[in-house]
């Protein structure tokens, strides 16, 4: 459903995309990972018809995004990172306006919009002015407008940005529900975001595709992770107990508790860490497995950390690229 072939794009002398090629199959959910400035948003803009490629090409639903842009756009629902919404209208009015733009038939339109609002957790917000919505509800509204017209392809740029933890879980479940029904390209700079939703991961760095892998394979790779523990009780006694389990130098005390650096999988060691807190007289308050970071993944896959914008000897990121 999505085909990208040798896609290249310059901004003046800055190379934002460098001969990028990939495909996303029908019904597949693919993650598009990379640090800020990697070129993800440039690629998404080309796929959604808002930016022309310098070289190469792309097809959505078999339609060329340059040769047949209007027809290609009708196949795509797009959620940009910064959703342009009209604050003066209500949520329902906004979605009706989007439906008009997408030429959605009037017969059954209101029922479709009600269903979309329910799926996006906008119950009770239909008649609320968009300008009065919280950032989380604005993000939900942006996802809702992408679903209007039931497009077969969804391009989502940071879909959980600004949501609280409960809302993030709900939106992730909604996106998972598209598997097998819609083709989804989900862009993020968070490894945890795509690993919990996507089947396959595409990793972009400095405009180049550096990795294309099944999500479970990335999660199974050995790599550093961090366990965050919080507790009530004697900090020094608990820290000593944690060190006995994790090893010297692995435990760093924080104002709230401790961060424990773990090499490889944390599945087996987490119960032992919890037991050590309890044995030392601590009352456990929280445990978070942060897993390997995107930076850790880059180190393992490419042998070098992603370049900082403006670093010596590296190409600076395009000014407008904010994936």
Is 322 inside any structural domain?
Answer: no
Supply the pLDDT for residue 302.
55
Judge if 244 and 208 occupy the same domain: no
User: Regarding predicted confidence, which is higher, 208 or 318?
Assistant: 208
Say how far apart CA 198 and CA 174 lie, in whole Å: 12
Would the pLDDT of 316 be above 80? no
Is 308 inside any structural domain?
Answer: no
In this structure, what CATH number is given to the domain that contains residue 236?
A: 3.30.70.2860
Say how far apart CA 139 and CA 162 lie, in whole Å: 7
Say how far apart CA 175 and CA 183 lie, in whole Å: 10
Say how far apart CA 180 and CA 183 lie, in whole Å: 8
Phi and psi at residue 172, to the nearest 5°:
-60, -40
> Which residues is 232 bridged to in the sheet?
283
pLDDT-above-90 percentage for the chain: 49
User: Regarding predicted confidence, which is higher, 70 or 193?
Assistant: 70
Is 303 inside any structural domain?
Answer: no
Judge if 170 and 241 occupy the same domain: no
Distance of CA 49 to the CA centre of its chain: 21
Is 244 inside any structural domain?
Answer: yes
pLDDT digit string, tens, across residues 141-157: 999 999 999 999 999 99
Pairing of strands 76-79, 63-64: unpaired
Say how far apart CA 318 and CA 46 lie, in whole Å: 15
End-to-end CA distance of the chain: 22
Q: What is the CA radius of gyration of the chain?
A: 22
Range of the domain at 261: 224-291
Strand ranges across the sheet with 14-24? 14-24, 2-11, 55-60, 63-64
Judge if 53 and 157 occupy the same domain: yes
pLDDT digit string, tens, across residues 1-37: 899 999 999 999 999 999 999 999 999 999 998 877 8
In this structure, what CATH number is given to the domain that contains residue 155?
A: 3.40.50.300
- Cα-Cα-Cα-Cα torsion 306, 311, 316, 319, nearest 10 degrees, comes to 90
Is 275 inside any structural domain?
Answer: yes
Judge if 145 and 255 occupy the same domain: no
pLDDT digit string, tens, across residues 101-142: 999 999 999 999 999 999 998 989 999 999 999 888 998 999
Supply the pLDDT for residue 125.
94
Say how far apart CA 139 and CA 176 lie, in whole Å: 17
Supply the pLDDT for residue 320.
41
The total of structural domains in the chain comes to 2
Is 159 inside any structural domain?
Answer: yes
Number of Cβ within a 10 Å radius of residue 283: 11
Number of Cβ within a 10 Å radius of residue 307: 19
pLDDT digit string, tens, across residues 209-234: 988 888 777 655 545 678 888 999 88
Q: How far is CA 188 from CA 35, 67, 68, 259, 289, in A?
A: 8, 28, 28, 25, 19
Supply the pLDDT for residue 196.
80
Average pLDDT for the chain: 85
């Amino acid at each position: 459903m999505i085909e990208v072939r040798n896609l290249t794009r310059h901004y003046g002398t800055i190379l934002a995309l460098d001969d990028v090629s990939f495909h996303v199959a029908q019904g597949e959910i693919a993650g598009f990972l990379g640090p800020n400035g990697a070129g993800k948003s440039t690629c998404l803009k080309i796929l959604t018809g808002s930016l022309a490629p310098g070289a190469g090409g792309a097809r959505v639903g078999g339609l060329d995004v340059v040769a047949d842009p209007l027809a290609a756009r009708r196949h795509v629902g797009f959620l940009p990172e910064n959703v342009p919404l009209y604050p003066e209208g209500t949520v329902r009015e906004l979605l009706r306006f989007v439906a008009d733009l997408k030429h959605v038939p009037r017969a059954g339109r209101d029922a479709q919009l009600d269903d979309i609002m329910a799926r996006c957790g906008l119950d009770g917000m239909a008649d609320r002015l968009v300008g009065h919505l919280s950032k989380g509800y604005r993000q939900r509204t942006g996802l809702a407008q992408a679903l209007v017209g039931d497009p077969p392809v969804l391009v989502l740029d940071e879909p959980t940005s600004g949501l609280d933890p409960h809302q993030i879980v709900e939106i992730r479940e909604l996106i998972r529900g598209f598997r097998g029904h819609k083709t989804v390209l989900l862009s993020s700079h968070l490894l945890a975001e795509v690993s919990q939703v996507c089947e396959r991961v595409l990793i972009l760095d400095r405009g180049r595709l550096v990795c294309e892998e099944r999500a479970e394979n990335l999660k199974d790779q050995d790599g550093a992770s961090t366990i965050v523990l919080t507790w009530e009780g004697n900090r020094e006694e608990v820290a000593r107990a944690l060190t006995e389990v994790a090893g010297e130098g692995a435990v760093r005390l924080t104002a709230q508790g401790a961060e424990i650096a773990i090499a490889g999988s944390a599945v087996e060691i987490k119960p032992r860490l919890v037991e050590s807190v309890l044995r030392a007289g601590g009352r456990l308050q929280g445990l978070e497995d942060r897993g390997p970071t995107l930076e850790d993944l880059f180190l393992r896959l490419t042998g070098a950390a992603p370049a900082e914008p403006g670093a010596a000897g590296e190409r600076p990121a395009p000014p407008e690229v904010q994936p």
